[in-house]
Amino acid sequence: MLSHVLNNDPRVGYAHQTDLIGPAATGYTILSLINSMLSQYSSWTTTPLEQVTDATDASTLLLQSTGPVP
């Protein structure tokens, strides 16, 4: 998940509803995984993550496939 963020990959990720909760003994949830990833990211940089829309996803993918416009 962190490599997805660090590679500036705008493709959509997903989780199944069953991933939102886990066994009570382990306390695992997708939210704890995301929180751990964000903590690790924040320890490396002060650059904030931005939430993007479908339109910005599409434009980012286009730029990444064609390169910057001169």
Mean pLDDT by 10 residues, the chain (70 residues): 75 72 68 85 86 81 75
Residue 70: per-residue pLDDT: 58
Domain that includes residue 31, residue range: 2-66
34 to each of 19, 30, 64, how far by Cα in Å? 12, 6, 25
Domains of the chain: total = 1
Are residues 49 and 5 in contact, defined by beta-carbon separation less than 8 angstroms? yes
The Cβ-side half-sphere exposure at 35, using a 13 Å CA radius, reads: 6
